[in-house]
Amino acid sequence: AQSVTQPDIHITVSEGASLELRCNYSYGATPYLFWYVQSPGQGLQLLLKYFSGDTLVQGIKGFEAEFKRSQSSFNLRKPSVHWSDAAEYFCAVGANDYKLSFGAGTTVTVRA
Partner 1 sequence: KAGVTQTPRYLIKTRGQQVTLSCSPISGHRSVSWYQQTPGQGLQFLFEYFSETQRNKGNFPGRFSGRQFSNSRSEMNVSTLELGDSALYLCASTAGGTDTQYFGPGTRLTVL
Interaction site with partner 1 (CB under 8 A): 32, 34, 36, 41-46, 49, 51, 90, 92, 94-105
Burial 12-49 (b: 16+ CB within 10 A, else e): ebeeeeebebbbbbebeeebbbbbbbeeeeeebeebbb
Name which of 74 and 81 has its Cβ closer to partner 1.
74
| CB of residue 71 to partner 1, shortest distance in Å | 22
Residue whose CB is less far from partner 1, 19 or 37: 37
Least Å from the CB of residue 56 to partner 1: 18
Q: Which residues sit opposite 78 in a β-bridge? A: 19
Please, what is the minimum distance in Å from the beta carbon of residue 40 to partner 1?
11
